[in-house]
Amino acid sequence: MRRFVIIGQRASASPDFSLADLAGSSGRLDVLLRCLRAALLVSHGLRRDTVVYLVLLGGASAPRSLRIDGASARFLRPDERSLALLVQKSLAAPVAGAGFSLVRPGVAVANEGLAAVLADLGPCSPYLLEEHAPDLREAALSLADPVFFLGDHQGLDPASGARLAALGASAIGVGPVSVHADDAITLVVNELDRREAASG
Amino acid sequence: MRRFVIIGQRASASPDFSLADLAGSSGRLDVLLRCLRAALLVSHGLRRDTVVYLVLLGGASAPRSLRIDGASARFLRPDERSLALLVQKSLAAPVAGAGFSLVRPGVAVANEGLAAVLADLGPCSPYLLEEHAPDLREAALSLADPVFFLGDHQGLDPASGARLAALGASAIGVGPVSVHADDAITLVVNELDRREAASG
């Protein structure tokens, strides 16, 4: 199973953003939605072996987290508005207790941030996507249970960075140019696809 | 200079689509807008060495084409709605005569399809992105003046395919999984970035 965790420093943890001005009203949730598409969607389908976590650290309800599981999610479309509507509806669902609660098929919400995600992940091989880090094409990558952590367009907040350092996440980079987070995910996914194909 | 040509079989050539239902009302122009982002935008900026053509073969005004030049375009934001608004305003501008006419800084419109694009490209090294084609990581790629042609989520229409075959475009693939067109562009751009960095 492949898992991706995208941490949005100001991404809205509450559903009170406008679909007509997503980039302006949601703390740049649009960045995270593009990451979701890059990780989970392929031509005419979903990657059933992939789980995406969005950590939402912005707005009055923060922190909260979403988990979208490619094995059981349904009706995901690649356009940003459709994905924004899915997140908005999921964030509006009542959630109680600790950890992740399922709010629709394949989609769960937690009233916590990175702590809930790390508890949910359990044992795994953690990687942190960073600029200028060792190239993923040359890196040893676990194909069994890799987890890739990414910041948003502003990078990582210091608290999240410290947690991931404590977790022992290996830093990897995707190339010589500083690209959008969703492009970095596309490049990681392609590298994993290639290695899985090569290993039969 | 790097150039990308994305051919939308049903993408709207007229501005009469709804921003509130882009995927449903524009002949899947959203697919082409994601390609535009992948080709032209990097973290906090534009790729000044890149030009993107969108060939719009859908709707009453078809065929028409757009050209977006990273060297002179301004105010491009990565979210789909912003890019859709840019395309909508550009398609609404009056354009007369043959070939591309500038309708705003860096953005030009032609009242023709692929023929206008091929005339505008001039001499170049053409490549066609295709599934199951030879891997781009192993391919000889021109760094001087490559042009990459892509279909949309439905592939290429037969007429466009025949034109590109006549042009002698080399087929290249991006990996073992069938991915979205924007992901394919991200993978091409990364390969070019790596080769340029390696060649100094």
If you average pLDDT over residues B13-23, what whole number do you get? 96
For residue A44, pLDDT beyond 90: no
pLDDT band (50, 70, 90) for residue B92? very high
Q: Tell me whether residues B44 and A178 touch, CB distance under 8 A.
A: yes
Q: What pLDDT does residue A184 have?
A: 98
Residue A37 confidence class, pLDDT cut points 50, 70, 90: very high
Chain A environment of B175 (Cβ under 8 Å): 190, 193-194, 197
Token representation of residue A16: 């009170």
- pLDDT tens per residue, range A144-156: 999 999 999 888 9
Smallest CA–CA separation between B180 and chain A, in Å?
5
Residue A34 has pLDDT above 90, yes or no: yes
Is the pLDDT at B185 greater than 90? The verdict is yes
Q: Are B160 and B138 in contact (CB under 8 A)?
A: no
Tens of pLDDT, residues A74-132: 989 999 999 999 999 999 999 998 999 999 999 999 999 999 999 999 999 999 999 99
Count CA atoms within 13 Å of residue A27 on its CB side. Answer: 19
Phi and psi of B101, rounded to 5°? -115, 135
Mean pLDDT over each residue of chain A, to the nearest integer: 96
Calculate mean pLDDT across residues A168-188: 97
> What is the rounded CA–CA span in Å between residue B135 and residue B151?
18
**What rounded mean pLDDT belongs to chain B?**
96
Instruction: Return the closest-CA partner of residue B177 out of A82, A40, A66.
Output: A40
Kindly give, in sequence order, each residue whose CB lies less than 8 Å from that of residue A96, ignoring residues fewer than 6 positions away: none
**Nearest residue of chain A to residue B29 (CA atoms):** A79
Chain A CB contacts of B40 under 8 Å are none
Q: How far is CA A84 from CA A19, A24, A31, A176, in A?
A: 7, 13, 11, 31
- The 10s digit of each residue's pLDDT in B147-166 is 999 999 888 999 999 999 99
For residue B115, give the amino acid letter. Answer: A
Mean pLDDT value of segment A49-58: 98
Neighbouring CB atoms inside 10 A of A144's CB total 9
Tokens at A74, concatenated: 């349904």
* Best to test chain B binding among A22, A46, A80, A152 (most B CBs inside 10 Å): A80
Closest partner CB to A23 (pick from B21, B79, B174): B79
Question: Given an 8 Å threshold on Cβ–Cβ distance, is A179 in contact with B34?
Answer: no
Confidence of residue B168 (pLDDT cuts 50, 70, 90): very high
A81 vs B contacts (CB less than 8 Å): 20-23, 80-81
Residues 35-74 of B with CB under 8 A from A: 37-38, 41-44
Q: Are A20 and A80 in contact (CB under 8 A)?
A: no
Beta bridge partners of residue A87, listed in sequence order: none
Query: Which residues fall within 8 angstroms of residue A139, CB to CB, at 6 or more apart?
Result: A127, A170, A172
Cα B101 vs. chain centroid, distance in angstroms?
17
Q: Is A85 on the interface with B (CB under 8 A)?
A: no
Cα A161 from Cα B111, distance rounded (Å): 51
Alpha carbon distance A199, A182 (integer Å): 26
Question: Which among B118, B85, B80 is positioned nearest to B99, based on CA atoms?
Answer: B118
Strand blocks (E) in chain B: 2-12, 41-42, 45-46, 50-58, 64-69, 101-104, 107-110, 125-129, 146-151, 170-172
A107-110, strands of its sheet edge to edge: A101-104, A107-110, A64-69, A50-58, A2-12, A146-150, A125-129, A170-172
